[in-house]
Amino acid sequence: MILFFGCKKGSSGSQGGNLSTLTGNWQTTVWGGANDTARATISASGTGTLIYLNAGAKTTGFSENDVIFSAITSSGNGVYSCIGSYRYTVSGNSMLESTKATITLQSNNQVIYVHYSEDASTGITPPDYYWNRQ
């Protein structure tokens, strides 16, 4: 009996896959309306990060140059996995945590939709966000 086996070499993901469609400037107004516009940029170097650039009315709790999404890697077909940072308040103190999130490209790559998973350490599921390409 002769058996033949074949394998396909998979990508190691060390470079985060193809992040070129995510690279650039993004904006969201979800944190407090039009007067609190958050601007960020995604860098495709390494595994990719989304860095907060402008806090608008500064109600987000993030500071300029905070990393909101890190370890961005392509899952294929316009879907990316990452670690998403979020802020919440306990007894008047602003707390920063992170959990897994999924980024999905929409509207001909002009919108990214971000869905956070529940953070097992806090039990919090951060809200979903839409970011528009600038």
pLDDT digits (tens, 9 = 90+) for 82-130: 999 988 889 998 888 999 999 999 999 999 999 999 999 999 999 898 8
Among residues 120, 123, 100, 131, the alpha carbon closest in space to that of 22 is found at 131
Which residue, chain included where needed, has tokens 């992170």?
Answer: 98
pTM assigned to the model: 0.77
Q: How far apart are CA 39 and CA 62, in angstroms?
A: 11
CA 129 to CA 4: how far, in whole Å?
A: 48
**Is pLDDT above 70 for 32?**
no
CB 113 within 8 A of CB 11: no
Rg (CA), the chain: 17
